[in-house]
Homo-oligomer: A and B are copies of this chain.
Amino acid sequence: MYQIGEFSKLGRVSVKALRYYDEIGLLAPAEVDQWTGYRYYSTEQLYQLHEIVALRQMGFSIEQIAAIVSGAGDTSLVEARLATLETEQRTVSDQLFRVRHYLRLKKEGYEMEYKVVVKEIPSCTVFSSRQKVADYTEMLSLIPAVGAKVAADNPQVSCCVPEYCCNVCHDTEYQDTNMDIEICQAVTTPGEPGDGYEFKTLPAVTVASVLHRGPYDGLGAAYAFAIDWVQTNGYQVAGDWREAFIDGIWNKDSEAEWLTELQLPITK
């Protein structure tokens, strides 16, 4: 019989952990002195502890270990652990990509103006108007015009809250002149198509998102950053880019306060 301190050294497990295992019923001592409360362990417990430690080293939770050591023979928990480990491996790998990319740019002296977030954009109903525009100035003038026309034709249509107003860019690479864009505005219910616009459903996508602050002539740098990020982090661009308008001329006087979100659909 060992005292808890000796037993803890034998099994390379802390005294605190042993008391915890006792408390939750995972590993009770062979004997507990009824008067002093002292725990006494035998080598039978050492054998059990060895198994517990082995399972802990595989990363099982205590609850899972309790299930495994009691109802042995079922591999489902182990298979679940395998699946969990595989996703953990992907997560760590993704994070490594990001951190290394960040450090590389920092080392090159780049000031990290842009940060990339991967997010899910749910599917949504929009009215849209696809047009060729000469530049961003022309585009900006079109948005309220389209909105006004739709509102006039479809008085029952209301915009989503919070708003989601974006361009879907149909050009195959970034350009800021003669662009093939589709102005979209998310609405709560579809309406009837009209002159120069229609209602459609934008698909749900996973995007790499970059926020750009300032006037639109800086969007090129943001795009370049986003595309580089997507490639060096092991993703591929998988769909038409979107530019979501958050702040702009309609609510901010100073161009420096304009806020636009680039959304590049991606897959691994």
Binding site for B on A (CB under 8 A): 2, 6-7, 9-10, 12, 43, 46-47, 50-51, 53-55, 57-59, 75, 78-79, 81-82, 85-86, 88-89, 91-96, 98-100, 102-103, 106-107, 115-120, 161-162, 209, 211, 213, 246-247, 257, 259
**Contact (Cβ within 8 A) A54 B85:** no
**Contact (Cβ within 8 A) A85 B95:** yes
A91-B88 Cα distance, complex, nearest whole Å: 10
**Contact (Cβ within 8 A) B96 A211:** no
A50-B221 Cα distance, complex, nearest whole Å: 18
**Contact (Cβ within 8 A) B106 A75:** yes
**Contact (Cβ within 8 A) A117 B162:** no
Residues of B within 8 A of A51 (CB): 115
Closest 5 CB pairs of A and B: A54-B115, A6-B162, A59-B95, A53-B117, A58-B98
A119-B162 Cα distance, complex, nearest whole Å: 55
From B50, B94, B213, A47 is in contact (CB under 8 Å) with B213
A75-B99 Cα distance, complex, nearest whole Å: 10
**Contact (Cβ within 8 A) B6 A115:** no
A185 to B: closest C-beta gap in Å: 16
A190 to B: closest C-beta gap in Å: 21
- With CB as the reference atom, state the residue of chain B lying closest to A90: B92
**Contact (Cβ within 8 A) A47 B211:** yes
Residues of B within 8 A of A102 (CB): 58, 78
A7-B161 Cα distance, complex, nearest whole Å: 10
Residues of B within 8 A of A55 (CB): 115
**Contact (Cβ within 8 A) B92 A78:** no
A160 to B: closest C-beta gap in Å: 9
Residues of B within 8 A of A9 (CB): 162
From B43, B86, B96, A247 is in contact (CB under 8 Å) with B43
A209 to B: closest C-beta gap in Å: 7
**Contact (Cβ within 8 A) B57 A82:** no
**Contact (Cβ within 8 A) A103 B89:** no
Residues of B within 8 A of A47 (CB): 211, 213, 259
